[in-house]
Structure 1
Amino acid sequence: MEISVPALLFPAISLLLLAYTNRFLGLSGVIRSLYEDYKTTPDPKIIRQIANLRRRVVLIRRMQAVGVGSLFLCVLCMFLIYFGLTAAAHAVFGVSLLFLLVSLGLSISEIRMSSDALNILLADMEEDLARHAGD
């Protein structure tokens, strides 16, 4: 394995971490907005979303941590290649790829949870529309 092989993952992992950060910032905005809404007008619909939002924050934090771990292991792999420790470099690179897969799997779970949260909002809107249509 050449040093360029793990280096190829740098742009992919960096972009992935940027996407995770953007998701975290978006989720932070949603939480802050819900907090302000709840302070002004307490609503049980907001409370229904809290558990989902907490799980999503935990998932994003784990996605970021495992993604950073993958990047760290890529750098370590490059050092091992540089020092001629090819067998160790292969093992570390394999673990780095495994970390990347775990990070992507967590990302899929977070996307599913995000969809669930949107479905809660859509169901609430449909209930309101049905009530107004019946009036």
Structure 2
Amino acid sequence: MTMELSLTTPALLFPALSLLLLAYTNRFLSLSAVIRNLYDRHREKPDPRHLRQLDNLRRRVELIRQMQTAGTLSILLTSVSMTFLFFGLHLAGLIAFGISLVLMCVSLALSVMELAISGDALTILLADLEQISGEDKPKPRRWLRRP
């Protein structure tokens, strides 16, 4: 059984991969802003609660870097695949395209992991707010309370 791959099939990934990399870049930029803000607040008034977030932030930065690397390699291999197909090297084009799909999946899996860690960061902030306010549990919002 032979699989045929046309030149247009890898080209279909370009818009998706470009948007994916744009989303990763936006996540990196917003995380950079959070880190700079935390740095400024800690320099102004040191607080041990700020330090609780460092490990989380380091892991997120590393995951985003890995996501961007896998996504960029995926685009590169998609281009290589198209080049191989253009020159009639179908097997090489198929292999390069398959690897680019795997790299895209790796990038997406890393994105899911980064989202989970991001949720942990919010949990840390909520716990700090609860500790500061002296409450054990946050009160439900007004529209969620039962009459």
| TM-score (normalizing by structure 2) | 0.87
Deviations 1:26-52 (A, max 9, x none): 000000000000001100000000111
Match of 2:75 in 1: 71
Q: 1:47 aligns with which of 48, 51, 55?
A: 51
Separation (CA, whole Å) in 1 of partners of 2:48 and 2:131: 14
Residues 34-72 of structure 1 deviation map (CA, whole Å, 9 limit, x = unaligned): 000000110000000011101111110110011000000
Q: Following the alignment from structure 1 to structure 2, what is the Cα–Cα distance between the partners of residues 80 and 42? A: 56
1:58 paired residue number: 62
Residues of 1 paired with 2:70 and 2:41: CA distance? 33
Q: Quick check: which one's helix share is greater?
A: 1
> After superposition, what is the alpha-carbon deviation per residue over 1:61-88, rounded to whole angstroms, capped at 9, x for unaligned?
1100110000000000000000001111
How many angstroms apart in 1 are the aligned matches of 2:95 and 2:83?
13
* Residue in structure 2 matched with residue 94 of structure 1 by the alignment: 98
How many residues of Structure 1 are paired with residues of Structure 2 in the alignment? Answer: 132
Amino acid at match of 2:71: G
Q: Deviations over 1:87-110 (max 9, x none)?
A: 111111100000000000000010
Q: CA deviation at 1:130?
A: 2.7
Question: Cα RMSD between the aligned structures?
Answer: 1.2
Q: Identify unmatched segments of 5+ residues in structure 2.
A: 136-147
Residue of 110, 122, 125 corresponding to 2:126: 122
* Residue equivalent to 1:113: 117
